[in-house]
């Protein structure tokens, strides 16, 4: 049996194997950061296409290019597999799987549960398991622990559990996994010390808190903060547009205040796996305590209504500037990634905008330099497989309007404004050309 002190020594000496379960937008950057700091990493994913590609030294994410990964594949510091029976080989296991909502807007912990059940099959004494998936406070205690203890092994005696939420910001050139402070919580000092010893070798700063439940609350608070503030500025946009006031100009001026203000920007709706989804994990959990999360629910309503607002504004602009309606209009949607400069389409508001436009009879194509083809979508299966057009500014005049949904830097907005009949800008991407009469902000 490996004692906690022996395990602590092994972690500090990097005499361990790190297992990363789920090698998507969280797991792959974490795997790279671990390998880059001297650890041997065994990557697990049920998607064999990912593991096969990774073992060839090829990345499938813009955020972790192949030239970063390939040397660690060659050296053996990173290996990938879909064989979950090998989880017993890892000394520290990090769970980086999705936590979506179900059709009732309630937490769907299927991936966490299945992963934990797989870990349980090979669980042995002396392992550390860290849950990184965003979830509601209490998940580690109420969901993960009982599954693992069914093996007969005892948490914080035979194996150790910590919660350390991911804080990835895909597309942000100023931060990556290793430079983002890492919150970590556990329910015993021994477990916390083991988690700290591991993560402090992978990231620049570790921020310990008093319990796993507190760490879970930290992560969900961060995402609720964003969701509520984005909803507020989206509501302000609607109000100010009625008053003929540019909300982006207002925000730019307001952020000159050096205290008491933080800028948030409006858009066509929320996207990504975290901010549109995670707040509702707390809404669901709060019901156990008889508490209604009114701010969270209202923010969700406002943000979910933004795609319809964009479509309504597009219809209005077509009527006023072209004497047309959405029915039989030929439209180009610019950007389907949920944020600029990445190839992540998860929960992108672009798909709701596209669907609503098509339902009203519009012909809709899209251009996105990062997403050449729309991948699997649970809510919008009819859009799957649609391909991006080739970019040619000379062809822009054939569209009745171009809707900017995602403001990728790779797009020549000056050429776009010059060649398009009408531009519906939901991101203020054309601010430098605001004097042009064919631009409508939405």
Q: pLDDT (tens digit, 9 = 90+) per residue, 258-271?
A: 999 999 999 999 88
Phi, psi (5° rounding) for residue 334?
-100, 105
Which residues are within 8 A (CB) of 160 and not within 5 positions of it... i.e. 6 or more apart?
4, 7, 127, 128, 129, 186, 188, 190, 191, 194, 195
What does the block give as tokens for 416? 């776009």
Maximum Cα interatomic distance, the chain, rounded to a whole number of Å: 78
User: Which pLDDT score is estimated for 2?
Assistant: 66
User: Which pLDDT score is estimated for 173?
Assistant: 85
Indicate whether 1 pLDDT > 70.
Answer: no
Contact, 163 vs 138, CB < 8 A? no
CA angle, 135 then 139 then 141, to 5°: 155
Which one from 34, 43, 96, 274 is the annotated catalytic residue? 274
Q: Find which of 2-11, 97-106, 358-367 is predicted with most confidence, using mean pLDDT.
A: 358-367
Roughly what angle, to the nearest 10 degrees, separates helices 48-55 and 66-75?
80
The Cα–Cα gap between 195 and 147 comes to 20
Portions of the chain given CATH number 3.40.50.720:
4-210, 227-441
Residue 202 gets which letter from DSSP? T
Strand 40-44 with 78-81, pairing? parallel
User: Which pLDDT score is estimated for 170?
Assistant: 80
Segments in 200-293 forming alpha helices (H):
212-242, 247-254, 279-286
Indicate whether 50 pLDDT > 60.
Answer: yes
User: Which pLDDT score is estimated for 250?
Assistant: 98
Q: List for the chain the helix, strand, coil content (%; round to 5).
A: 45, 15, 45
Is the Cα dihedral 63, 66, 69, 71 positive or negative? negative
Over range 310-318, report the average pLDDT: 96
Phi, psi (5° rounding) for residue 375?
-85, -170
Over range 103-109, report the average pLDDT: 88
Predicted TM-score (pTM) of this structure: 0.91
Residue 368 gets which letter from DSSP? -
The Cα–Cα gap between 93 and 70 comes to 22
The Cα–Cα gap between 291 and 282 comes to 10
Indicate whether 33 pLDDT > 60.
Answer: yes
Indicate whether 388 pLDDT > 70.
Answer: yes
Element (H, E) at 94: strand 92-95
Contact, 403 vs 426, CB < 8 A? yes
Starting at the earlier edge strand, list the strands of the sheet with 330-334.
363-367, 330-334, 401-404, 423-425, 439-441
217-220 long-range contacts, CB within 8 A, separation 24+: 217/137, 218/165, 218/183, 218/185, 219/134, 219/165, 219/166, 219/167, 219/183, 219/278, 220/134, 220/135, 220/136, 220/137, 220/278, 220/279, 220/281, 220/282
Q: What is the mean pLDDT of the chain?
A: 95
Tell me the chain's radius of gyration from C-alpha atoms: 24
**Residue 179, burial from CB neighbour count under 10 angstroms (0-12, 13-18, 19+):** exposed
The Cα–Cα gap between 253 and 18 comes to 47
The Cα–Cα gap between 79 and 52 comes to 10
Q: Which residue has the tokens 């205690």?
A: 141
Over range 416-428, report the average pLDDT: 96
Indicate whether 272 pLDDT > 80.
Answer: no
User: Which pLDDT score is estimated for 113?
Assistant: 98
Domain 227-441 = CATH 2.60.210.10: no
Please give the distance of CA 120 from its chain centroid, rounded to a whole number: 27
Reported as a single tens digit per residue, the pLDDT across 391-408 is 999 999 999 999 999 999
Least confident of 250-264, 358-372, 428-442: 428-442
Over range 413-423, report the average pLDDT: 96
274 is catalytic: yes
Superfamily of structural domain 4-210: NAD(P)-binding Rossmann-like Domain (3.40.50.720)
User: Which pLDDT score is estimated for 356?
Assistant: 97
Over range 56-75, report the average pLDDT: 94
User: Which pLDDT score is estimated for 275?
Assistant: 76
Roughly what angle, to the nearest 10 degrees, separates helices 279-286 and 212-242?
110
């Amino acid at each position: 049996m490996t004692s906690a002190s022996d395990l602590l020594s092994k972690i500090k000496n990097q005499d361990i194997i790190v297992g990363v379960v789920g090698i998507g937008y969280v797991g792959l950057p974490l795997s790279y950061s671990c390998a880059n700091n001297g650890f041997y990493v065994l990557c697990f994913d049920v998607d064999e296409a990912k593991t096969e590609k990774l073992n060839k030294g090829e990345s499938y994410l813009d955020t972790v290019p192949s030239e970063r990964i390939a040397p660690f594949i060659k050296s053996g510091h990173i290996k990938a597999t879909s064989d979950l029976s090998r989880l017993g080989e890892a000394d520290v296991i990090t769970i980086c799987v999705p936590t979506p909502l179900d059709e009732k807007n309630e937490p769907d912990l299927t991936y966490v549960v299945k992963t934990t059940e797989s870990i349980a099959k090979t669980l042995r004494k002396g392992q550390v398991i860290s849950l990184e998936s965003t979830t509601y406070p209490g998940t580690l205690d109420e969901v993960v622990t009982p599954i693992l203890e069914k093996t007969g092994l005892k948490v914080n005696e035979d194996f150790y559990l910590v919660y350390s939420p991911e804080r990835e910001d895909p597309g942000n050139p100023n931060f990556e996994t290793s430079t983002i402070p890492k919150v970590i919580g556990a329910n015993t000092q021994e477990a916390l010390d083991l988690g700290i010893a591991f993560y402090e070798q992978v990231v620049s700063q570790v921020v310990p808190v008093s319990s796993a439940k507190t760490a879970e609350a930290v992560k969900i608070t961060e995402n609720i903060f964003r969701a509520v503030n984005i909803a507020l500025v989206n509501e302000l946009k609607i109000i100010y547009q009625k008053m003929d006031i540019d909300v982006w100009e207002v925000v730019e001026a307001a952020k000159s205040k050096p205290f008491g203000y933080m800028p948030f920007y409006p858009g066509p709706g929320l996207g990504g796996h975290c901010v549109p989804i995670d707040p509702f994990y707390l809404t669901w959990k709060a019901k156990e305590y008889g508490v209604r999360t009114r701010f969270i629910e209202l923010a969700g309503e406002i943000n979910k209504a933004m795609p319809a607002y964009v479509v309504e504004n597009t219809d209005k602009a077509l009527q006023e500037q072209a004497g047309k309606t959405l029915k039989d209009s030929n439209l180009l949607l610019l950007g389907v990634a949920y944020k600029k400069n990445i190839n992540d389409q998860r929960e992108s508001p672009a798909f709701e905008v596209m669907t609503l436009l098509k339902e009203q009879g519009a012909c809709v194509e899209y251009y996105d330099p990062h997403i050449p083809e729309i991948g699997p979508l649970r809510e919008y299966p009819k859009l799957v497989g649609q391909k991006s057009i080739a970019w040619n500014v000379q062809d822009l005049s054939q569209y009745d309007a171009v809707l900017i949904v995602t403001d990728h830097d790779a797009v020549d907005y000056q050429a776009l404004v010059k060649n398009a009949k009408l531009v519906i800008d939901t991101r203020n991407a054309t601010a430098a050309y605001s004097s042009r009469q064919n631009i409508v902000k939405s």
